[in-house]
Amino acid sequence: MAAESKTKYDRQLRIWGEQGQEALEKASICLLNCGPTGSEALKNLVLGGVGSITVVDGTKVEKHDLGNNFMLDEASLLQSKAKCVCAFLQELNDAVKAKFVEASPEALIEGNPLFFSSFTLVIATQLLETSLLKLDKICRQSNVKLLVARSYGLTGLVRISLKEHTVVESKPEHFVDDLRLQSPWPELKEFAKTIDLNEKDPIIHKHTPYVVVLIHIAEKWVDTHGGCLPTTRQEKKEFKDLIKAHMLDIDEENYKEAIESSYKVSIPHEISSQLHQIINDSAVEVNSASSDFWILVAALKEFIENEGAGEPPLEGSLPDMTSLTEFYVSLQKIYQAKAESDCRVMEHRVRTILKRIGREPDSISKSFIKNFCRNARKLTICRYRPIEDELSSPSVSELQKYMTDEEYSFSVSFYILLRAVDRFVANYNRFPGVFDNEIDDDISRLKTIAVGVLGDSGLHGSTLSDDLVNEMCRFGGGEIHAVAAFIGGVASQEAIKLITNQFVPLSGTLVFNGIDQKSQVLAL
């Protein structure tokens, strides 16, 4: 990467690294409708340095666009909106290839579905239900990721649609270190033995890493407890007391760390339920059409069942802990060596599988395998139902739960009302509440339609708050800039996660609640 790019992107490279940046720079993004929601989403991605953008919008700039879209100014009036937005976005980052298509997204969806197949990701904004369902089918057929964003008055939503998204680097914030204290391997045990816990030299005593302290004390405990590690609350407390009894001084930081980390000795010797589910997924029966990810999972499954004896490859990193430098560095090398040896076993299994399914044995790089091993415990898979499936047969039990939960009631009501709005538009060819003198009529019309949506969703007899129906009409179909910037912001954050294959994207539909900010993710 060029020095100037490195400096310019420094603050984000610290989050997703050069690999993440490379993925962004390869990505081509298509935006449908460039009102404020879409323009803001794209702005954030252009700043981050995506490869190319294509802005699709068939409208001309009107006066009201100047009140909510920063990409447009007085000089844009009556010009192509797509052209003006594209020109402003290009100004933000000349490394991005910016294009525009002056056409209505609906017309492209109807008449030119092949148009979408060349993109990495399509961001569809302010699209009505009928067009959205067609677009979803098109994108799924051509394996293009779809991100849906909608702003509507003080509400809106963001959702993702694609068959499957697999993540190696999910980067969770809180994850227990992979130390294997409950089952130390021979080299680790050997090293622990070289340090005597009864060491008289206070400097060495207070600089013995807690990993060593815990291995020693766990061994002692096992000897006196029929080969079992502490499991009950009482045993865990006694185990801590045993650690305390080894302290020479109450200020020994390493012993305090040992007490704090003592639970790591009792972590059950088994894989997480999430990982269990992944290695038992039907996709693990790989063939020549399988993705690299699933080939690695197939190898991982074999590893866990064989060499790993129930455990995935060791991660290999060691958290900082109070220690003499030489103890720490030696310990670090022991963890690294074990991780490397696990990785070699994995690599061998991967090559064998590749050969078996008729692929070139070297077609998956060593660095990919290494990265996979390092993150094996954190693998994540996201799958999304086709939008049509959710709309025609949502999870009624979840919907009912949300309807009766005070924390969710606004969000789920907005979800229903946004669908009702789309039906309203299909009936009346305009948004509810656009004319001041028809607001009262629109309120009862929208209410009737919403009752229909509830019924179709399996919620017969449920009602929505009149106040929210009223709010929906009050919005008059408007796109408030601050709401659009929020929705566009969320969409761009999700886009980054989808493109970089890092972190974990949104799992359901995020419904924005601009009234009291209690937005919720609905899983239907």
Instruction: Work out how close the CB of 469 gets to another protein at its nearest, in angstroms, rounded to a whole number.
Output: 10
* 406-428 helix and 439-456 helix, angle to the nearest 10 degrees: 110
Least Å distance, CB 452 to another protein, is 23
**Contact flag: residue 503 with another protein (CB under 8 A):** yes
Structure tokens that stand for 70 in this block: 């920063």
Q: Is 162 exposed, middle or buried (0-12, 13-18, 19+ CB in 10 A)?
A: buried
Q: C-beta of 209: minimal distance to another protein in Å?
A: 9
Rounded CA-CA distance 30/82 in Å is 12
Tell me how far, at minimum, the Cβ of 474 lies from another protein, in Å: 5
> Going along 350-412, which residue ranges are E strands?
380-383
Smallest gap, in angstroms, from Cβ of residue 40 to another protein? 6
Dihedral (Cα; 491, 425, 162, 504), 10-degree rounding = 30
Q: How many CB atoms lie within 10 A of CB 524?
A: 18
Give the CA distances from residue 288 to residues 204, 299, 355, 363, 502, in Å, rounded to whole numbers and listed in that order.
Answer: 56, 15, 10, 12, 25
β-sheet bridge partners, residue 520:
511
| Binding of another protein by 444 (CB under 8 A) | no
Least distance CB 29 / another protein (angstroms) = 13
* Interacting residues with another protein between 250 and 309 (CB under 8 A): none
Q: Please say which residue, 353 or 490, places its beta carbon nearer to another protein.
A: 490
Choose between 173 and 360: whose C-beta lies nearer to another protein.
173
C-beta of 490: minimal distance to another protein in Å?
6
324 in contact with another protein (CB under 8 A): yes
8 Å CB contact between 95 and 4: no
CB of 295 to another protein, least distance (A): 25
Report d(CA 153, CA 37) in Å as an integer. Answer: 12
Cα gap 123→491, rounded to integer Å: 8
- Return the axis-axis angle of helices 10-26 and 36-48, rounded to nearest 10°: 100
Min dist CB 47 to another protein, Å, is: 4
CB of 349 to another protein, least distance (A): 28
The site string for another protein over 166-205 (x = CB under 8 A, - otherwise) reads: ----xxxx--------------------------------
Q: How far apart are CA 524 and CA 519, in angstroms?
A: 16
Give the residue, chosen from 74, 201, 223, 285, that forms a contact with another protein under the rule CB under 8 A: 74
Q: Name which of residues 329 to 368 contact another protein (CB under 8 A).
A: 329
Binding pattern to another protein, positions 116-155, x when CB under 8 A? Answer: -------------------------------------xx-
**511 in Cβ contact with 409 (< 8 Å):** no
Interface pattern 366-395 for another protein (x via CB under 8 A): --------------x---------------
DSSP 45-84: HHHHT-SEEEEE--PBP-GGGGGT-TT--GGGTTSBHHHH
Which of 54, 68, 125, 501 contacts another protein by CB under 8 A? 68
13 binds another protein (CB under 8 A): yes
Q: Which of 2, 14, 186, 358 binds another protein (CB under 8 A)?
A: 14
**Which of residues 22, 28, 47, 177 is near another protein by CB under 8 A?**
47
The correct pick among 63, 200, 233, 460 for binding another protein (CB under 8 A) is 63
Q: Which is nearer to another protein, 360 or 436 (CB)?
A: 436
Q: Closest Cα to residue 506, out of 486, 484, 522?
A: 522
Question: What phi, psi does 401 have (nearest 5°)?
Answer: -60, -45
DSSP 379: -
Among 154, 218, 207, smallest CA distance to 473 is for 154
Q: Of residues 104, 182, 371, 507, which one binds another protein by CB under 8 A?
A: 507
Q: Which two tokens stand for residue 193?
A: 């033995």
Instruction: Please identify, using beta-carbon distances, which residue of 11 and 233 lies nearer to another protein.
Output: 11
316 lies in the binding site for another protein (CB under 8 A): no
Q: Count residues binding another protein (CB under 8 A).
A: 88
Stretch that binds another protein, among 62-70, 237-245, 364-372, 450-458 (CB under 8 A): 62-70
Min separation Cβ 11 and another protein, Å: 4
**Residue selected from 48, 105, 312, 313 as contacting another protein according to rule CB under 8 A:** 48
Q: For residues 26-45, which are near another protein according to CB under 8 A?
A: 36, 40, 43-45
Site for another protein in 399-438 (CB under 8 A): 433, 436
Binding residues among 453-492 for another protein as defined by CB under 8 A: 466-468, 470-471, 474-476, 478-486, 488-490, 492
Q: What are the beta bridge partners of residue 147?
A: 123, 160
Nearer Cβ to another protein (107/482) = 482
Q: In 142-272, where does DSSP find H-type helix?
A: 186-193, 202-205, 210-224, 233-245, 253-260
Where on the phi/psi map is residue 450: left (φ > 0), alpha (ψ -120 to 50), or beta? alpha
Q: Determine the interface stretch with another protein among 63-71, 103-111, 237-245, 348-356 (rule: CB under 8 A).
A: 63-71
CA distance 238 to 118: 63
Min CB(293)–another protein separation in Å: 18
Q: Which of residues 83-102 bind another protein (CB under 8 A)?
A: 91-92
Distance CA 151, CA 486 (A): 9
